[in-house]
Amino acid sequence: MPILGLFEKYYKINYNIAFMVRFPTAEHRGGSIAKPELKVGFDTKEQQRFEAVLSDLLPYLQRGKVALAGGAALRHHLTIRDIPHPNPQFKDLDLLIEDPGVILGRISDRDSGFLISHFHPRKNPNILASFFIKMIHVATKTNVDFFSYAPFSPDYFAEVSFQGQIIQIPSPESLLTIALLDTLKALEAFKKAPCKRLTTIDLLSGVVDWRVAQQVWQGQGLDRTSLSDSISMIETVYLMHPEQFVGKVFGKKPIANCTDCVQTPEFPIASSELVRSILGIGSSAPPH
């Protein structure tokens, strides 16, 4: 597909990703099927931080009802194919859940190790997800973002193993679809989109099965367009208006002024002063 190398000049990426590698197949061990291990390809320090956040978080989530998304999911699909990711840092953790009830109420206990900094239970028409929750892993000062499954289809999740637990992970085709939809939605609503999405689209384009990807795309009710059409639209915007691709779309918004946040007994929102103190970010609150 023409997307390969599309944004090489902007990101200085020159990876040989024009080959396909199959997913590791499940193996039978002792009569049961062993799932492939989650592999995100960080160096030792970043890997330890990633594992600390995820292992501390999982006890507060209903088993089998969470999916890894975002950069970690992308990294898994790249790592199992021996493809490097251009960013060596673990910045945040993105997860998909069916509804906020998947998060167990005791995560708001003082000794949980997590603080809730945003809870948006209502649909924002300018974004795809029907709800949004942001937490902070206090020990590592890492943001953890929860989004709704939609527009992902559970039919396109695979299963991987992490420290003996099974975690769902979207297929590369699903990740590409959501990256394209998110980018187009952001450009439409805000006239700008995160520049990191260009890298995501470029890398995923080298590992997806394009026939399956088109099926996933059409499964979202997008029969009137194609993946190649959406990629061409994003390419055109980038070439004609590169200033519309920015580091952050929402920037940093003080929690006290977040009109989307709702305080509930299940999701008590930490004070902006406490969040700023933990993250060490001075007078600004954590970004959305």
114 three-state secondary structure: strand
- In the numeric block, the tokens 């470029």 are attached to 202
Contact 207, 80 (CB under 8 A): no
* Domains of the chain as residue ranges with CATH: 1-22+172-249 (no CATH), 35-170+250-288 (3.30.460)
pTM higher than 0.85 for the full model? no
For the chain, 288 residues long, give each residue's pLDDT as a single digit of tens: 334 344 333 333 332 222 222 233 334 444 456 789 999 999 999 999 999 999 999 999 998 889 999 999 999 999 999 999 999 999 999 999 999 999 999 999 989 999 999 999 988 887 888 899 999 999 999 999 999 987 666 678 889 999 999 999 999 999 999 999 999 989 998 899 999 999 999 999 999 999 999 988 888 776 677 889 999 999 999 999 999 999 887 655 444 468 889 999 999 999 988 988 888 876 544 455
How far, in Å, CA of 68 to CA of 95, rounded? 5
Print burial letters for 106-138: b (CB count within 10 Å at least 16), e (below 16).
ebbeeebbbbbbbbbbeeeeebbbbbbbbbbbb
- Terminal CA-CA length for the chain: 33
Residues 6+ apart with CB under 8 A from 99: 131, 148
Give residue for tokens 């790592």.
79
CA pair distance 182, 201, nearest whole angstrom: 11
List beta partners, residue 69.
94
